[in-house]
Chain A
């Protein structure tokens, strides 16, 4: 690629990234604006952040969202990992096509369809046996259904890239199938499990549609509160809340990235050292006797 092309390329990428970041940058910027209006900058102020701390509705909704987020993350990792493992291990069973369809469909199906259908199920159930009431449980199930597919596919991909002989070696050494999963499979897919957990948590915290359908009168979640405020237009408190979110995510992503890079570099260094040792002595294999 000649210099002109390189310049064009960089220029194009810059534009794309500007497109992606300018809006969120504005949110951050204006969260510190004294004035409510976007058109006027009246001074630097923490006033909207202070307003957040006294906003009862927002705080209690945030707390509920957090609880559901954690519950969803654990449930979807549990079910998703199990489903991903089944996808990887079993290639012939009755209902395989249905199974894969049920895993792939939630990835693309519009959320409004999933929301309505789950709600109708719960309502019908409540009519028949008097349970469940719309609230924590129903939202939890709904969120989990949104996330299970991502975890299943990630886990299956990670398992497929693993050396199959590791499982065989464990079995050969005396591990029953359950033990193989516990001792070998799970520890080696742990990074995939962690990222699945985080993804599920994020999806749950952020979800509007499913939550709206499945909430009851007693449960209010953060995205719903924010959404109803935001429909009416600009809301400076939301700027402050948004900035906090953005900050949290940025810190998490950067830290994770940095940590992963460091780990990878350390590994490469160790491998290179080991190879050098072998080269140097050529037959370092041999010792006296």
Chain B
């Protein structure tokens, strides 16, 4: 079943947009990292704004974790530079960087209490005892772990360990905070709530963050901007909204959420019409495209943008007819797979409200009409 990520806007009413100042607070410039014959990071360039929460999204093996480790200093790049707040940290060892990391396994020192764990970084700096006490206390308060200060890691639950690890990584007030799959160790049930809380804490502290995850929902929920990665390269960078609504490539369109992809060719020289062999009528996009006739493109149409009816629709383009072959009732929405005359199957995502508005719920074998607006089509350039 495809995921159902929702655009970030509607989930975070209280979070203001990312500030425009210092757009290049963290810069990765043409970074390359090879392991033997494999190129894990292939000429990646990125800019992260100050105070921004930036997510690196991709499936395992795409290079996102390597990129994170390069920023932390746990690996050295073969080429390229990493700059934080104007300082070139590419050759610096991890213990000299103004960067801290929250590990996937939390990596809490098992032989130290939560308090000692959090204080470790400051002790290495040689900070005076009073200052350590105050700052550690403040960090534990922030994550609401003060009452567990004297406990050891194995006496904490998963969620508590995560917060202890977070406190530890924030105490030193790093210029850049790295988070390696922060939710992966938590139960699905508490994940969404934790995503909010973590995001709020990070925002209130005002730290610049780069987060790595394979979970689209996590990236969409928490990030101000995200980058989709595949095979060591950045596929697309943008806000969750941008990447979801306007993917620039097939990979991006298919990776986040699900989509119906059409192979189509431009019908005329200056046209808004595209012919697709799977459909009986042409696809009409919103903006005219200036290109050669018969130019081949891919057009993306999200399942939730499609309207399903029993009656034919009154529009010359952007519709199709077929029979319901499969459907899955998901509670808040139902997913329908409709087979067209051409043999092509289209996925349609209908909310409960929309289904209830129909005279009767669609069933196996029903003939239905699918229609959509021209602004719901996205022409993919790659």
Using a CB–CB distance below 8 Å, which chain A residues touch chain B? Answer: 163, 165-166, 168-176, 179, 183-184, 187-188, 267, 270-271, 273-275, 277-278, 282-287
**Interchain Cβ contacts under 8 Å between A and B, 19 examples:** A165-B103, A166-B109, A168-B72, A168-B101, A169-B101, A169-B107, A169-B109, A170-B109, A171-B93, A172-B74, A173-B100, A173-B168, A174-B121, A184-B109, A270-B154, A274-B155, A275-B157, A278-B159, A283-B190
Residues of B within 8 A of A176 (CB): 95
Interface size band for B: 35 or more
Does A174 contact B172, Cβ atoms closer than 8 Å? yes
Taken together as a complex, chains A and B put the C-alpha atoms of A78 and B333 apart, in Å, by 66
Tell me which residues from 111 to 137 in chain B have a Cβ below 8 Å from any Cβ of chain A.
111, 120-121, 124-125
Q: A170 vs B158: C-alpha distance in the bound complex, in angstroms? A: 20
Q: Which residues of chain B from 76 to 115 have a CB within 8 Å of any chain A CB?
A: 93-95, 99-101, 103-105, 107, 109-111
A98 to B255, CA, bound (A): 50
Q: Give, as a whole number of angstroms, the nearest-CB distance from A180 to chain B.
A: 9
Taking CB atoms, residues of chain A closer than 8 Å to B72 are 168, 172
Q: Which of A170, A172, A175 contacts B73 (CB 8 A)?
A: A172
Per the bound structure, the CA–CA distance linking A267 and B95 in Å amounts to: 32
Q: Is B189 interfacial (CB 8 A cutoff)?
A: yes
Interface of A is mostly: helix
Closest to B123 in A: A174
Whole-angstrom distance from the CB of B142 to the nearest CB of chain A? 12
A270 to B120 CA separation, bound complex (whole angstroms): 24
In angstroms, Cα B94 to Cα A172, docked, is: 5
Distance between Cα atoms of A275 and B110 in the complex (Å): 17
- B287: Cβ under 8 A from any A Cβ: no
Q: Given A172-B72, A274-B154, 10 other A-B contacts at CB below 8 A?
A: A163-B107, A168-B72, A168-B101, A169-B107, A173-B100, A173-B124, A173-B172, A188-B110, A271-B154, A283-B193
Closest to B180 in A: A165
A285 and B107: CB pair below 8 A?
A: no
Tell yes or no: B47 within 8 A of A by CB. no
Contacts of A163 in B (CB 8 A): 105, 107
| Nearest residue, chain B, Cβ from A166 | B107
Contacts of B101 on A, CB cut-off 8 Å? 168-169, 172
Provide the bound-state CA to CA distance between A176 and B99, in Å: 15
Chain A residues near B242 (CB-CB < 8 A): none
CB proximity of A194 to chain B, nearest CB, Å: 14
